[in-house]
Amino acid sequence: MKSKLRKSKQHKMLAGVCGGVAEYLNWDPTLVRILFVILGFSYGFAVVLYLLLAIIMPD
């Protein structure tokens, strides 16, 4: 059974978005953070996506 997509309280660095996505996908939080950084530097949309998820995702 999949968990709900929500901000992580355990794997929180800034807003808990990457940790929450990692828990939802059952991935390592560090891998999700690295992917967000790579996408942020290469395309820039990851920064906007992170901010939107920080606002939209429940705690």
Please give the pLDDT value at position 2: 65
Please give the pLDDT value at position 1: 53
User: Residue 3: which pLDDT band, with cuts at 50, 70 and 90?
Assistant: confident
CB 50 within 8 A of CB 36: yes
Place of tokens 């395309």: 43
How far apart CA 48 and CA 53 sit, in angstroms, is 9
How far apart CA 16 and CA 10 sit, in angstroms, is 8
Task: Please give the structure tokens belonging to residue 44.
Answer: 């820039």
DSSP state of 4: P
Please give the pLDDT value at position 43: 82
pTM of the complete model = 0.85
Task: Please give the structure tokens belonging to residue 36.
Answer: 């967000």
CB 13 within 8 A of CB 19: yes
Domain ranges of the chain: 1-59
> For residue range 7-59, what is the model confidence (pLDDT) as tens digits?
998 888 889 999 999 999 999 999 999 999 999 998 888 889 999 999 999 98
